[in-house]
Amino acid sequence: MKRIVVTTGGTGGHIFPALAVAQALRVMHPGLSAAFVGGQGPEGVLARKAGLRFVALPAKGVFGRGIRGVLEGLMSTRAAFQAMNFYRTFKPDLVAGFGGYASFYPMLAAWFLGIPTALHEQNSVPGVTNKLLGKIATRIFTTYPDEAGVFDPKKTILTGNPVRHDIAALWDAPARTGDATRHILVLGGSQGAKAVNSAVLAALPSLLGAGFRVTIQTGRADFERVIEAAAEVSEARRSQGLAKPGELVIENFIEDMAAAYSTADLIIARSGASTLAEVTSAKKPAILVPFPHATHDHQTVNASFMARTGAAVLIEQKRLDPEALAALVIDLFDHPERLAAMSEAAGKLAAPRAAETIARELAALGRNTDGGRA
């Protein structure tokens, strides 16, 4: 295989697995030419930063958005023609989609030109886009067992969800020794999670008073609000003459997630597939608050899977009470044996070699092809 296209977009949860697989492929095949085809989201910046050629298409969501979605989808069909024009010059041996609406037309264009395609499904409940693409994909990779039988089992492989190399490496890292730093890492994903941020802000007086170090990755959209609210909490503590044993760090986006995970003792997060893949690869215990409006409520399904194994505690957003959250965190740290058991359970769920596994399968699939009919 000489040339490959990876395609996805929208959120880091889709983008980072695609980049992880592209990186693994380039390590295995140093002469490989890889291109990233995506939409108008953050994928362009991230792909170029990873050293990939990036091609932007005018793709927008089609499914589940009513008449507006259909009309915008019809307008976005030009993305398929643009993808075909690119394929005719780039001549990829394979096109691999990693979910999201931005992958729909590039995958469809590849199928139309007879180029082999592969699809990765991150979540326990596939969305409409991947359900449709699964019908035409040559090979399908899944994070969770396909218990609903959505995909053809003859072409489906259970691989886990790829994570970035530096985060995957944490799975093999020796366990931390000595006194715990009592460091809580709060993650809302690349888009942030206002409800989670608000609950943690309200719990801050208790958490800081108990000596915790709290790092909140707010997401860019919620950064200013959280900064202002955190400043009010800090000022209130100072005015009351309270000691400051704890520490608070606010970030809108964390570049070095591997370092953030390595120093954390507990994660509070949503339960998107990529977040869970990273948490388990880092072998971290977690409190999970699923986004209740996710498609098919897949985040609750994801989190329930983690909770059943003992790797996480699930809290429904409608039951996310700040006082109860603070009490839960304090209780977990008062019982370090439970945190240790959660960490061990998380590690057993990890698939730190998923990127390499998928890369090998893609290389085998794309071997001896000539770019299809393009």
pLDDT, tens digit, for every residue of 298-317? Answer: 899 999 999 999 999 999 99
Q: What is the dotted CATH code of the domain comprising 3-163+352-366?
A: 3.40.50.2000
Rounded Cα distance between 83 and 114, Å, is 13
Rounded Cα distance between 171 and 284, Å, is 10
Asked if residues 93 and 371 have their Cβ atoms less than 8 Å apart, the reply is yes
Rounded Cα distance between 32 and 41, Å, is 25
Rounded Cα distance between 331 and 334, Å, is 5
Q: Phi, psi at residue 35, to the nearest 5°?
A: -125, 145
The pTM is what?
0.87
Chain region(s) in the chain for CATH 3.40.50.2000 = 3-163+352-366, 168-349
168-349 CATH pick, 2.40.160.20, 3.40.50.2000, 3.40.50.1110, 3.30.420.40: 3.40.50.2000
List the pLDDT tens digit at each of the 374 positions of the chain: 899 999 998 877 889 999 999 999 999 999 999 999 998 888 999 999 999 999 999 865 554 444 444 445 555 678 899 999 999 999 999 999 998 888 999 999 999 999 999 999 998 888 888 999 999 999 999 998 998 899 999 999 999 999 999 999 999 988 765 555 799 999 976 555 899 999 999 999 999 999 999 999 998 888 999 999 999 988 888 888 775 667 899 998 898 999 999 999 999 999 999 999 999 999 999 999 999 988 788 899 999 999 999 999 999 999 999 999 999 999 999 999 999 999 999 999 999 999 999 999 999 998 855 444 45
Asked if residues 274 and 122 have their Cβ atoms less than 8 Å apart, the reply is yes
Count of C-beta atoms within a 10 Å radius of residue 83: 25
